[in-house]
Structure 1
Amino acid sequence: MKRNLCFFLLFFSLFNGLALGDWNILNQKGKNNKLGISLKNYCESWRINVELNNIRGFDVVPEECVEYIGKYMTSTQYKVDLERALEECTLFVSTNFVLKGDGKDAWIFDIDDTLLSTVPYYKQHSFGGEKLNMTCLERWMKTSKAPSVAYTLDLYNEIKGRGIKIFLISSRGELLRDATIDNLVNVGYHGWTGLILRGLEDAGKNVQSYKAEQRKRLKDDGYRIWGIVGDQWSSFEGAPSARRTFKLPNSLYYVA
């Protein structure tokens, strides 16, 4: 009797664990799914919650959403979302502050999927559906063939034209400096004040800590950071920050 009870409890525990581990919103179709939730609904909800920073630290896009995310990142809607976010940047720049005229007004841009698009790379690698291979990605970056992210060049030139010093702070490594400069110049970016890439001393630091440290150095040098544009929350989090931050859409990957 005791042996049978132990077997039953073990079986129930395993079954329950599997059921919980396999649960997602799609499994509710045909059960208690009164909302009639579709695959598109589920994947759109997943994408939005990535942008809201509710879903964090994922290694890959959920398998059932890879096709949806790929379609979004190559769609007109993605470009419209970019344009809307960057319009807010332009509005802020044109209406919310007056330059001091001492050369210490600054703006920060991330690079990947902010100025340069990695979408062509991810198109070849399941749109985030496979785990990132940094060696493979960096080999692609060294070709300097990344296109400009839609509309960011216009904003970049608008900010530069107002006399604001532009700093590019990227989690790319120093070994990619020449390739990064070539790529930026090839697609039209010129005249930045500083291009900050990760050196050996930054090994082991997460992106949030590394970027916060770089902002602190700028602050210590007397710069007023008016804005930051990036596609990852780790480009903004941590002190010091900026007067305004602007998050561009990107649900291909998550960088902490």
Structure 2
Amino acid sequence: MRMHLALVLGLVSLVLDGVCASDWNILHHKGDGKGLKISLKNYCESWRVNVEVHNLRDFEVVPHECVEYIGKYMTSTQYKVDSERALEQCTLYLSQEFGLTGDGKDAWIFDVDDTLLSNIPYYKKHQYGGEKLNLTSLEGWMRGRKAPALASSLSLYNEIKGKGIKIFLISNRGEHLRDATVDNLFEVGYTGWTGLILRGDEDCGKSAQKYKAEKRQKLVEEGYRIWGIVGDQWSSLLGHPHATRTFKLPNSMYYA
């Protein structure tokens, strides 16, 4: 009986291993014609990097083969170092003389989610983007006001505020989440912004890029000079009007 059970389990294991290997080889494993062997880690790292440089777009979920890899990256020291390096460039930029006037119209824009506040604790429970987005579930997390601050973002935020630059937060969150968003931001140390801009009824159906570009346009029409934008998604950075400089934080868990 034991021998029979062991044989069955061994066959099951071989079948499952074969399915995984077949899935990997058929869907993803491609050589370069020069004998290059691509591992799963190679593939997932390449996938992540191509998300960051905006070659891979409009994906609904992280490939199931790469969920574990992406999860490890987003909770790693490397993710923190990559984020800090990006924001160090903001600090270097701010140290330059680029025409701050002190007239109250110098502005800087931050995204909120995974730029100022981290949703990694939420995505940890949802396969780090390996599950399709459930907006009701995500908004439930946001209403809980439990998102921690990204430490390097908080430091930069306070540095910019200290220079007298007006800070605007343009978030893809809906207006119905204003109270929860304000409470969460205050709780982790973000204070003193000039404006928190959230999606209203008039923004329904607009892409994130179109919505955020329109909000920037309104700021420009009010006389603001946008010196910089920090965001974790390309939709926060692209479109007219542009900022003088943009800075992207790493995030390959979702595409918005």
Q: TM-score, normalised by structure 1?
A: 0.88
Letter in 2 for 1:253: Y
Over residues 145-200 of structure 1, what are the superposed CA-to-partner deviations in whole Å (9 max), with x where a residue is unaligned? 00011300000000000000000000100010000000000000000000000001
Q: Could you tell me which residue of structure 1 aligns to residue 7 of structure 2?
A: none
Letter in 2 for 1:245: T
What is the percent sequence identity of the aligned residues? 70
Give the aligned length: 233
- Residue 37 of structure 1 deviates from its aligned partner by 1.2
Q: Distance in 1 between matches of 2:179 and 2:234?
A: 26
Counting only pairs closer than 5 Å after superposition, residues 68-107 of structure 1 correspond to structure 2 as 68-107=69-108
Over residues 110-165 of structure 1, what are the superposed CA-to-partner deviations in whole Å (9 max), with x where a residue is unaligned? 00000000110000001100100000000010000000113000000000000000
Pair 1:125 & 2:126 matched: yes
Q: Distance in 2 between matches of 1:51 and 1:150?
A: 21
Pair 1:234 & 2:235 matched: yes
For the aligned residues, what is the CA RMSD?
Answer: 1.6
Letter in 2 for 1:24: L
Over residues 2-30 of structure 1, what are the superposed CA-to-partner deviations in whole Å (9 max), with x where a residue is unaligned? xxxxxxxxxxxxxxxxx9xx84332x47x
Pair 1:24 & 2:27 matched: yes
| Paired residue secondary structure (1:170) | strand
Q: Distance in 2 between matches of 1:54 and 1:89?
A: 24
Structure 1 window deviating more from structure 2 (88-97 vs 67-76): it is 88-97
Cα distance change on mapping 1:33 and 1:40 into 2, 3 Å: farther
Q: Distance in 1 between matches of 2:169 and 2:146?
A: 18
Q: Could you tell me which residue of structure 2 aligns to residue 250 of structure 1?
A: 251
- Residue 33 of structure 1 deviates from its aligned partner by 7.4
Q: Could you tell me which residue of structure 2 aligns to residue 187 of structure 1?
A: 188
Letter in 1 for 2:236: S
Q: Distance in 1 between matches of 2:210 and 2:189?
A: 30
Q: Is the 8 A contact 1:82 1:150 kept in 2?
A: no
Q: TM-score, normalised by structure 2?
A: 0.88
Structure 1, unmatched stretches of 5+, are 1-18
Q: Is the 8 A contact 1:79 1:150 kept in 2?
A: no
Letter in 1 for 2:161: K
Over residues 79-120 of structure 1, what are the superposed CA-to-partner deviations in whole Å (9 max), with x where a residue is unaligned? 000000000001001114131111000000000000000110
Pair 1:60 & 2:61 matched: yes
Cα distance change on mapping 1:143 and 1:161 into 2, 3 Å: same
